[in-house]
Amino acid sequence: MEVVLLIISILLIMVVLLQSDKAGGASIAITGGSESLFANRKERGSELFITRVTIFLGTTFFLLCLFMGF
């Protein structure tokens, strides 16, 4: 079970590193910048796939940690 958790954690780290930078919107909101033209852009293609894989791997990691704790 620990091997599966290790593999999922490595995959989760890799997928998170592949995601595009979305933290720029937070700094614009704090500083009051007017560069929010593309802030509400929908994810498409590979971005949507990477987001869904991240959600799946994160949920699986969380559930495995809970299961191993009992």
Note down pLDDT in tens along the chain; length 70 residues: 899 999 999 999 999 999 877 655 555 556 665 555 556 667 788 899 999 999 999 999 999 999 998 8
Residue 38: predicted pLDDT? 58
Pinpoint the alpha helices (H) of the chain.
2-18, 24-31, 46-69
Residue 26: predicted pLDDT? 57
Residues 6 or more apart whose CB falls under 8 angstroms from that of 43 comprise: 51
